[in-house]
Amino acid sequence: MIILITLLALVVLNFYGIYTNKFYFFKPDNYIFPLLSIIHFVYLYVVWFKITEHEPPDPKMRNLEYAMYAVVVVYLYKIYDSFLVISSFSEYEEHVIPASFIPVATLTIVLYCLLALLTLFSFWQRKRYVGVYNFENYNDNLNIWQ
């Protein structure tokens, strides 16, 4: 549940311009993170479904998890980018910077770090509750006529 709230909060904050205290919905760059978060939402749903239905992992889930590894790299980049933004505060001290700059930048960094940690935790939960990916004998045990 925490990971869903974190994802939704970061999707909203992704449209927020930290230097101007405005939301920007017409910048195409702002839609990259929300589109990548769809992969994360689907992965969370698949893991939840596999756990509740006691189903073994399948190749589609494995491929989705491989896509999630790439998404985690994007999350790490966003952490780095957020640190760059907050460290630029001293460069723009003579300019008018909104009072919400430091709190929102700090919140963004904390949420991205939390999201990265919870994503890694979800990989561990998948391995523990759904099982490991063992597809060596997958084709031998597959009966397509049933």
| In contact, 62 and 136? CB cutoff 8 Å | no
Q: What is the mean pLDDT of the chain?
A: 89
pLDDT tens string 6-65: 999 999 999 998 888 899 999 999 999 999 999 999 999 999 999 999 988 888 999 999
The type of residue at 32 is I
> Got the DSSP string for 2-56?
HHHHHHHHHHHHHTEETTTTEE-SS-GGGGHHHHHHHHHHHHHHHHHHHHHHTPP
Domain boundaries, the chain: 2-130
